């Protein structure tokens, strides 16, 4: 049976959404094509009508995963309240416990580093967008405005701390839940503390 262009586009998007979520939940090597197509409600063979190969799917799914945003990044006000809500949302037990619905950097950075330059470039573009968006939040700027070098530096420091903290919290959650919770709570407090004045 012939599939309409609209249905084909919907099927492709379903595959990308399923892959983006499953890769974040299980890692790039923990998910097969059959898992992705089954989750999307399609047959295994249907995937290759939409993607040249599995590597192409991985790249597009990871790029799609970077559409995710913090708490949501585009839906909250900027300034101190918006920043606090984003930090609290990112460093929360809910985000820790649901990697498939969360930050691709925390879920897939190690896989991306091992995968080579093509996927590394996809991650670099996604991380760059997140740094710019987060810097605008920190400085209370409108979408599309250019953050200052200081705002960009602060965004980079905060995001790196948040991603690293989330990775550690996830790694310790099953074995030492109290330690995992402590990591999240400590970093929330640290990142939201007022700056020290000399």
Rounded CA separation 66/122 (Å): 9
With a threshold of 0.75, does the pTM exceed it?
yes
**pLDDT class for 53, splitting at 50, 70, 90?**
confident
pLDDT, average across residues 70-93:
72
Helix-, strand-, coil-residue percentages of the chain, each rounded to 5: 70, 0, 30
Write down the residue that tokens 């919770």 correspond to. Answer: 181
Given this model, what pLDDT does residue 45 score? Answer: 72
Average pLDDT, the chain: 88
User: What pLDDT score was predicted for residue 73?
Assistant: 45
Better-predicted residue by pLDDT, 82 or 76: 82
- The single-letter DSSP state of residue 43 is -
Rg (CA), the chain: 18
pLDDT band per the 50, 70, 90 thresholds, residue 18: very high
At 198 the pLDDT is 52
Q: Which domains does the chain have, with CATH numbers?
A: 5-58 (1.10.10.60), 79-192 (1.10.357.10)
pLDDT at position 79:
57
Return the pLDDT at 74.
Answer: 45
Q: Please name the residue that has the structure tokens 């499953």.
A: 22
Return the percentage of the chain with pLDDT > 90, whole number. 63
64-80 confidence digits (pLDDT tens): 999 886 654 444 455 56
pLDDT, tens digit, for every residue of 114-143? 988 899 999 999 999 999 989 998 898 888
Asked if residues 103 and 90 have their Cβ atoms less than 8 Å apart, the reply is yes
The reported pLDDT for the residue numbered 4 is 80
Average pLDDT on 18-33 reads 94
């Amino acid at each position: 049976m012939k599939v309409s262009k609209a249905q084909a586009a919907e099927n492709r998007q379903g595959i990308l959404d399923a892959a983006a979520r499953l890769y974040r939940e299980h890692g790039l090597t923990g998910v097969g094509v059959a898992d992705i197509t089954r989750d999307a409600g399609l047959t295994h063979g249907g995937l290759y009508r939409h993607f040249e190969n599995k590597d192409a799917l991985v790249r597009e799914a990871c790029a799609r995963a970077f559409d995710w945003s913090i708490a949501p990044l585009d839906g909250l006000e900027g300034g101190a309240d918006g920043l606090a809500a984003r930090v609290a949302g990112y460093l929360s037990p809910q985000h820790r416990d649901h990697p498939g619905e969360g930050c691709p950097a925390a879920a897939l950075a190690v896989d991306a580093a091992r995968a080579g330059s093509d996927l590394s470039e996809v991650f670099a573009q996604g991380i760059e967008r997140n740094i710019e968006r987060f810097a605008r939040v920190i400085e209370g700027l409108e979408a599309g405005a250019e953050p200052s070098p200081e705002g960009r530096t602060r965004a980079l420091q905060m995001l790196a701390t948040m991603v690293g903290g989330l990775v550690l919290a996830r790694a310790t959650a099953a074995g030492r839940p109290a330690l995992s919770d402590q990591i999240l709570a400590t970093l929330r407090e640290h990142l939201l503390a007022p700056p020290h004045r000399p």
